Structure 1
Amino acid sequence: MPTPQHTTTRTVHVDAGTIDLTEEELVAEFEPEWTLNGLVEADPNDGSARILCGQEIGRIAVTAQLWDGAPPLEPDGWQDVAEVPVSWHSAFIDFATTGTAVDPAGRLTLPGPGDYRIRVHGRNRDDGDPRDAGDPVEEYLIQVWPAPPVTPDLWKATSRTAALWRTPGE
């Protein structure tokens, strides 16, 4: 069974309701098509992706893992699980939010530029905005592995947050 090659965990301050997965600098300027899965979307024009959070502003827990192949799909305990292909132009992924600086200590180091698959798991996405001190922490697991570009997959979708975005106009 494959095991993660590298893992990084951070508490991230969310501002503007998203986490950007970026390369050298925060350049994720695209408008995601959230109706696909209500969780994650890759920019088709550059090496970046964006994760939609349940909070507009707050602190969330993010764990990112590099795998050498597709990790086992384990959706239990998560509200939403989706994956998308992305082409990276650098040898690391950083995750930040709008208006924050890139933190080199929190980077996920990759084997190099190339095509990858990103699977995002999210939980506690519906537990309030803003959050009170006793509310559950919104949490994300990001799994990354080398893979050719293929269509996105939605594995699990149970949060009200994702459902709201997947059905615009309601």
Structure 2
Amino acid sequence: MAQLITRVTDPELFVDAGQIDIVDEGLECYVADESATGIVDARPGGSGAAVICATEIGHVVMTAELWDGPPPLCTDGWQDVADMPLHWLRDEAMEIGGEGTSLTEPPTFALRAGLHMIRVAGRHRDEPDPRDDRAPAEEYLIQVWPAHPGAATAGPVLHKRTSALAARRTALRAGLPRAGRGGTPG
């Protein structure tokens, strides 16, 4: 059974341009392909990923976890959950959220070069932007672990998609009409 190595929570992570950047120390952010899963995308060149948020500019709650293997899958209480293979090019720290963190230092995980998986779960993604102060905070769980070599060819895995936001963004990829509230994995 996989073991949790470390966990960090930022209760007020600042989001700009509608995404949480996950990059190595030398890589600047990039524009994510929102249509891949509607919630997470990995940079094709490696060493970068992004969590796709409903909030364009504002604060979200983010918890990040580093595991030594695949963590248990839990979709209960989350609107959208997806896995994405992530190629990490160098033995460098993975920085999550960059300078937008409310913590003393940006959350970082020491990663070895190689293939990893990143799972992102999100909730409260259908609130209007800007968000009403009484609305629940948009929230994300980011889990990272070393992957087996076959994961790269498997591509992204959509475990759950119930937010209208993810349904609209994944419909763009398929060239389908924009979906309303709800949706199921495609």
TM over 0.5: yes
Q: Secondary structure at the match of 2:105?
A: helix
Q: Give the % identical residues.
A: 41
Q: CA deviation at 1:104?
A: 7.7
Aligned to 1:134: 134
Please say if 1:28 is aligned against 2:32: no
Q: What's the secondary structure of 1:155's corresponding residue?
A: strand
Aligned to 2:116: 116
Indicate the larger mover: 88-97 or 52-61.
88-97
What is the CA distance between 1:130 and its match in structure 2?
Answer: 0.7
Deviation at 1:93, TM superposition (A): 1.5
The amino acid that maps onto 2:51 is I
For residues 28 and 47 of structure 1, what CA distance do their matches in structure 2 show? 10
Q: CA deviation at 1:133?
A: 1.6
Cα displacement (A) at 1:35: 2.0
The one-letter amino acid paired with 1:75 is T
Structure 1 residue 128: deviation in Å?
A: 2.1
Per-residue CA deviation, residues 115-156 of structure 1 (Å, 9 max, x unaligned), is 110000000111221112211010000000001324210000
- Report SS of the residue matched to 2:33: coil
1:85 and 2:85 correspond: yes
1:63 aligns with 2:24: no
Partner of 1:44: 44
> Match for 1:91: what amino acid?
E
Q: What amino acid is aligned across from residue 24 of structure 1 in structure 2?
A: E
Report the aligned-residue RMSD. Answer: 2.0
Shift of 1:78: 0.2
| Structure 1: 5+ residue stretches without partners | none
Task: For CA contacts below 8 A with separation 6 or more, give which structure has more relative contact order.
Answer: 1
Query: 2:184 — aligned with what?
Result: none
TM-score of the pair, normalised by structure 2 = 0.81
Amino acid at match of 1:163: A
CA distance in 1, matches of 2:156, 2:95: 21
Residues in 1 aligned to 2:109 and 2:60: alpha-carbon distance in whole angstroms: 21
CA apart distance, 1:26: 4.7
- Aligned-pair CA distance for 1:101: 6.3
The whole-number CA distance in structure 2 between the counterparts of 1:101 and 1:142 is 16
Question: How has the CA–CA distance of structure 1 residues 90 and 76 changed in structure 2, closer, same or farther, with 3 Å as cutoff?
Answer: same
Deviations 1:72-107 (A, max 9, x none): 11000000000111112243211226xx46878333
Q: Is residue 160 of structure 1 aligned with residue 164 of structure 2?
A: yes
Q: Shift of residue 25 of structure 1?
A: 4.0
Where does residue 181 of structure 2 map in the other structure?
Answer: none
